[in-house]
Amino acid sequence: MTERQPLQVTAAIIRRDDQILLARRPEGDHLAGFWEFPGGKIEPGETPEECLARELKEEFGLNAEVGDFVASSRFDYGEREIELLAYEVELEAGEWILTSHDEARWVAAEDLLSFALAPADIPIAEALVPKSEEARRGLE
């Protein structure tokens, strides 16, 4: 039996002040009602960075500069296994629209795990929480 290759998917860690952007999957979608870091499937011949820039333009109407790799996770949803690759992203410009989500929110990093996150997004959120806790302690 051959091991199936996971579907590679990207996630954008977009920060504004001390908050991170989460978006909720709409009714009728796979994982409807779950919150996630914006992103999407990597197309053939596309780098993760190119994918994120394209997805943010398509899903939010925003231009973005993709930065450093943050973390990854793998999750088997049964019908497919995904490998989620998260990158820091700076928003540059654009017309803010929601085309693939029914809501988006800016959330304090320490509150990320209080949302009903898509299972693959949970390890990414866990990787972000300690960093924000350490940063906050450094300010005290």
How many CA atoms does the CB half-sphere of 51 hold within 13 Å? Answer: 20
Residue 132 has pLDDT above 60, yes or no: no
Q: What is the pLDDT of residue 79?
A: 84
pLDDT tens, 64-110?
A: 999 999 999 999 988 889 999 999 999 887 777 888 889 999 999 99
Predicted pLDDT of residue 137:
52
Place of tokens 């924000």: 132
Buried b (16+ CB within 10 A) or exposed e, 102-125: eebeebebeebeebebbebbbbbb
Q: Give the global pTM.
A: 0.87
What end-to-end distance do the CA atoms of the chain give, in Å?
A: 55
Structure confidence at residue 130 (pLDDT): 59
pLDDT digits (tens, 9 = 90+) for 2-38: 567 899 999 999 999 889 999 999 998 888 899 999 9
Domains along the chain? 7-139 (3.90.79.10)
Provide mean pLDDT across the span 112-127: 96
